[in-house]
């Protein structure tokens, strides 16, 4: 069964976004293997890499140590989120000019339903081309796009178009387009599912589409039918206009060496609370739930959460709630050395805070000043002295 409807769904994705932005300010890196990571130490993780680095097997989410083994000649750079943020905002502003139905899927990608926009901007493929042209002219980097009848196929099409390309899948051609593609290119198929399917002789998406639904349901339960439908290019998920991809805001720090100093751990937590508060202020949001994440060697991860009575947005309040969670969780684990520490907020809502008795706006003014410095010069521009400790400053991711 083919998908129903016209090919009006776009998926637009910035090509190797962080790397592209680094090359924009360091043109001498063009053509070289470049890796951008959330920390350059042995515990850092690759955020993205250039296509030249990918040729050596480097991939996103790979440990930096492994990436260095695969491609020792690569240029390794620490992520600079404050530098990337304006470009991301400009990208999403461009998308909003072509349709009211835009659903961000991250800082560097989004879905659009352009049905009804043709009278203003032309056919969907022309709209995709116009968007890509504006990204190149206004942001200075390239984007790839896929056009089809649904989100699923458009996502695969934009991946197939990379780098700097456009792929259009006409209505009725969804299954044929997907059939020859490797199984892992189908969204939502992870390593375990792929391994199980390969055990059934499935290596291409077309192989999956050819399996009887009864065989898939026997192996995967109700998920089996969904796998079959996706392999045929069927997806009924609508583009959700105005959907906010940021359901939570968090910061994490992975220490170069396991940290056991109580004061330094609290200082790092304090710095994270300030950065989360700045992110909330930029978005005009507050959060009802404060979360904590602790990781002990080797990979024992603990999470905690609390929901105070009132929404929180100031660094002092966020830190107080996170510190309480930290003290209790750390004590429960014998105050063992910490490998990773992180905090965040969830259940976000529009910011509407009333002053408490005796409270002034001085804290807000200070938060704006600190946030402005970090927005302009990066997170490392201003830190609490205790965050520096006696070792190299840990990387934020």
Q: Pick left, alpha or beta for residue 335 (phi over 0 → left; psi -120 to 50 → alpha; otherwise beta).
A: left
The predicted pLDDT at position 370 comes to: 57
pLDDT at 361 over 50: no
pLDDT at residue 364 above 70? no
Do 262 and 310 reside in the same domain of the chain?
yes
Percent residues over pLDDT 70 in the chain:
85
Write the CATH number for 373: 3.30.1490.100
Position 47 scores a pLDDT of 85
277 and 306 part of one domain: yes
| Residues 172 and 26 placed together within one structural domain of the fold | no
Residue 234 has pLDDT above 70, yes or no: yes
The residue among 81, 97, 124 that closes a domain is: 81
- Whether residues 260 and 370 share a domain: the answer is yes
Tally of structural domains, the chain? 3
Whole-number Å distance between alpha carbons of 94 and 14: 12
Judgement on whether residues 213 and 179 belong to the same structural domain of the protein:
yes
pLDDT at 9 over 50: yes
Region 297-321: mean pLDDT is: 84
Please report, for the domain that includes residue 74, its CATH number: 3.40.1170.60
Whether residue 278 is found in the same domain as residue 338: yes
Give the strands of the sheet with 34-37, arranged side by side. 46-49, 34-37, 75-78
- Which of 36, 61, 81 terminates a domain? The answer is 81
| Phi, psi (rounded to 5 degrees) for 54 | -65, -30
Query: Could you give the dihedral angle defined by the CA atoms of residues 362, 365, 369 and 374, in that order, rounded to the nearest 10 degrees?
Result: 100
What's the pLDDT tens digit per position in 120-160? 999 999 999 999 999 999 999 999 999 999 999 999 999 99
What's the rounded Cα separation, in Å, for the pair 348 and 312?
A: 9
Residue 207 scores a pLDDT above 80? yes
Do residues 48 and 88 both lie within one domain?
Answer: no
**Is the distance from CB of 197 to CB of 210 less than 8 angstroms?**
no
- Asked whether residue 66 falls in the same domain as residue 100, the answer is no
| CATH at 155 | 3.30.70.270
In tens, the pLDDT along 157-171 reads 999 999 999 999 999
Do 150 and 7 share a structural domain? yes
Catalytic residue set: 109
Structure tokens at 92: 């999403």
In the predicted structure, residue 387 carries a pLDDT above the cut 70: no
The residue from 245, 278, 313 where one domain ends is 245
List CB contacts of 297: < 8 A, sequence separation 6 or more: 258, 336, 337, 339
Q: Are residues 205 and 150 in the same domain?
A: yes
Residues 211 and 260 in one domain: no
What range defines the domain where residue 77 resides? 17-81
Are 75 and 197 within one domain? no
């Amino acid at each position: 069964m083919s998908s129903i409807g016209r090919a009006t769904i776009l998926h637009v994705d910035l090509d190797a976004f962080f790397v592209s932005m680094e090359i924009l300010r360091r043109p001498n890196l063009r053509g070289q293997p470049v890796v951008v990571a959330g920390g350059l130490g042995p515990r850092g993780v690759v955020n993205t890499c250039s296509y030249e680095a990918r040729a050596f097997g480097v991939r996103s989410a790979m440990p930096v140590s492994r990436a260095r083994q695969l491609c020792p000649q690569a240029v390794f750079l620490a992520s600079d989120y404050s530098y990337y943020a304006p470009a991301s905002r400009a990208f999403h502003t461009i998308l909003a000019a072509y349709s009211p139905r835009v659903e961000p899927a991250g800082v560097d990608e989004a879905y659009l339903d352009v049905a009804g926009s043709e009278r203003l901007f032309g056919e969907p493929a022309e709209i995709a081309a116009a968007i890509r042209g504006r990204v190149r002219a206004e942001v200075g980097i390239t984007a790839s796009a896929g056009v089809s009848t649904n989100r699923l196929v458009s996502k695969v099409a934009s991946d197939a178009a990379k780098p700097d390309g456009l792929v259009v899948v006409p209505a009725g051609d969804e299954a044929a387009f997907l059939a020859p593609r490797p199984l892992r290119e189908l969204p939502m198929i992870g390593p375990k599912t792929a391994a199980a399917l390969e055990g059934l002789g499935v290596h291409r998406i077309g192989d999956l589409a050819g399996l009887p639904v009864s065989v898939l349901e026997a192996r995967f339960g109700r998920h089996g039918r969904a796998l079959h439908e996706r392999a045929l290019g069927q997806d009924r998920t609508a583009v959700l206009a105005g959907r906010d991809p940021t359901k939570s805001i968090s910061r994490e720090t992975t220490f170069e060496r396991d940290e056991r100093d109580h004061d330094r751990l609290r200082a790092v937590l304090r710095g994270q609370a300030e950065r989360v508060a700045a992110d909330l202020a930029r978005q005009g949001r507050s959060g009802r739930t404060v979360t904590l994440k602790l990781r002990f060697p080797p990979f024992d991860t603990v999470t905690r959460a609390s929901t105070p009575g009132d929404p929180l947005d100031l660094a002092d309040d966020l830190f107080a709630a996170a510190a309480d969670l930290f003290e209790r969780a750390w004590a429960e684990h014998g105050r063992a050395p910490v490998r990773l520490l992180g905090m965040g907020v969830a259940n976000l809502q529009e910011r509407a805070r009333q002053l408490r008795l005796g409270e002034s706006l001085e804290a807000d003014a200070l938060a704006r000043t600190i946030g402005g410095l970090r927005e302009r010069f990066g997170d490392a521009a201003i830190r609490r002295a205790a965050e520096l400790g006696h070792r190299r400053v840990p990387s934020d991711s």
